[in-house]
Amino acid sequence: MALEPKEVRPLGELGFTRTPSEDDPRRDPALLEAIAMFAPGTALRQSVDDIIRSHEGALIVIGQPGELSFLFSGGIRLDAPFRPQLLFELAKMDGAIIVDPDLKRLAWANVQLMPDPTIPSDETGTRHRTAERVAKQTGALVLSISQARETVTIFVGQARYQLDPIADVLAKTNQALGTLDTYRQRLEQVLTRLTALEFQNAVVLDDVLVVLQRAEMTSRMSERIQRDCVELGGEGRLIRLQLEELVGDVPAERDAIVRDYHAVGGGAEAAVALEGLRALPYQELLEFDRLAGLLGYPRSVNPLDHTVAPRGYRVLSHIPRIPDAVVRQVVADFGGLEAIVRATERELEAVDGVGAVRAREIREGLRRLQEHNLVDRYLQL
């Protein structure tokens, strides 16, 4: 018996809330790379923790000393090997410390930084204001440790990020893992439903948009947790294992859905749609007409009664030992999942790159997927 399409409900009613990753400055690759340099387990973080525990402040600039020389005066030229204990001792002086980009050499200590005073800054403290201007003027990575507040702030170019205590990051990340687990369970429900409808040739656009929306939300939460793991450094090993188990093949499922249901085709057009989906602001991700537009459907289309048919990328990708190139060739030759399911072994053998063994695997794989889907649907009842 065919499944009836479900009514569209607001995302909040489906258990989704606004993801904090939308305004996460760590989406900047340069900033995230800088955060990784200060993560727990690194030599630099050891120095920073020692400085904070001793209730000291510090201003550390990481960049090529020769390129920064116009910006500072005075100080002590060291050219000494980088050692966490030495950096901690140097921080007891009043001036800034210059470290080479590879964190191999401590170049200068106790220098006076003189950035362009006309560069705008919203910082109130002298140390933070200087750090922000140096970063903006030179593009160097600057670390400012506040003596009064015992906080660590990273400046990279125009980006600014204040590190949270590791205990707070761990707590937020574990909470995010729980949310991700809920996202994944609900995604599995609609994926199972979509697979059943695909084998029954009864998919409407609404079914596709619900799955695509949930898959993208799950992927975004996963990416946020991955950034948390970068900040956690060595403290995030267990969370990385949990994340890998939870996420699994969700990004691949999302990509295959776009290739299956893009109105124009599953090639270059689908690739452009995926880029647009990843760049879509959160509020627009909630709008089904916006998602339908990304898939190439006009606004006049009603997702609840517009029938669509999968090309077969997603279902075929679940069959073991079938390379992506063969999947693409099978889809190109048959044009859709319905034709692939009806095809005989001899017809599948005729596809370039398939042969007798893969033809049999495809036929058996499709049969197992249909049986497995029936079991999954029964267990969800």
- Compute the average pLDDT of residues 45-54: 94
Write a three-state SS string for 111-149: EEECCCCCCCCCCCCHHHHHHHHHHHHHCCEEEEECCCC
Going by C-alpha positions, the residue among 30, 131, 122, 123 that lies closest to residue 71 is: 131
Instruction: Please give the pLDDT value at position 220.
Output: 95
Its CATH architecture, for the domain 25-163, is 3-Layer(aba) Sandwich (3.40)
Helix or strand run (H / E) with residue 181: helix 166-199
Q: Residue 160 has which token pair?
A: 């600014």
pLDDT of 10 strictly over 80:
no
pLDDT of 375 strictly over 90:
no
β strands within the chain, DSSP E: 58-62, 72-73, 76-81, 96-99, 105-113, 141-145, 152-156, 159-163
Q: Residue 323 has which token pair?
A: 């390379």
pLDDT of 8 strictly over 70:
no
Mean pLDDT of the chain: 90
Instruction: Please give the pLDDT value at position 7.
Output: 41
pLDDT of 335 strictly over 50:
yes
Which CATH number applies to 311-381?
1.10.150.20
Instruction: Please give the pLDDT value at position 212.
Output: 97
The reported pTM is 0.84
With tokens 């950034």, the residue in question is 227
Q: Where are the domains of the chain?
A: 25-163, 164-309, 311-381
pLDDT of 5 strictly over 80:
no
Whole-angstrom distance, CA of residue 169 vs CA of residue 165: 6
Instruction: Please give the pLDDT value at position 149.
Output: 86
pLDDT of 30 strictly over 60:
yes
Whole-angstrom distance, CA of residue 139 vs CA of residue 290: 37
Q: Residue 136 burial by CB count (10 A; 0-12/13-18/19+): exposed, middle or buried? A: buried
Q: Which CATH class is domain 164-309?
A: mainly alpha
Instruction: Please give the pLDDT value at position 2.
Output: 43
Of the two residues 282 and 216, the one the predictor is more confident about is 216
- Place 379 in a pLDDT band, splitting at 50, 70 and 90: very low
- Place 110 in a pLDDT band, splitting at 50, 70 and 90: very high
Instruction: Please give the pLDDT value at position 371.
Output: 86
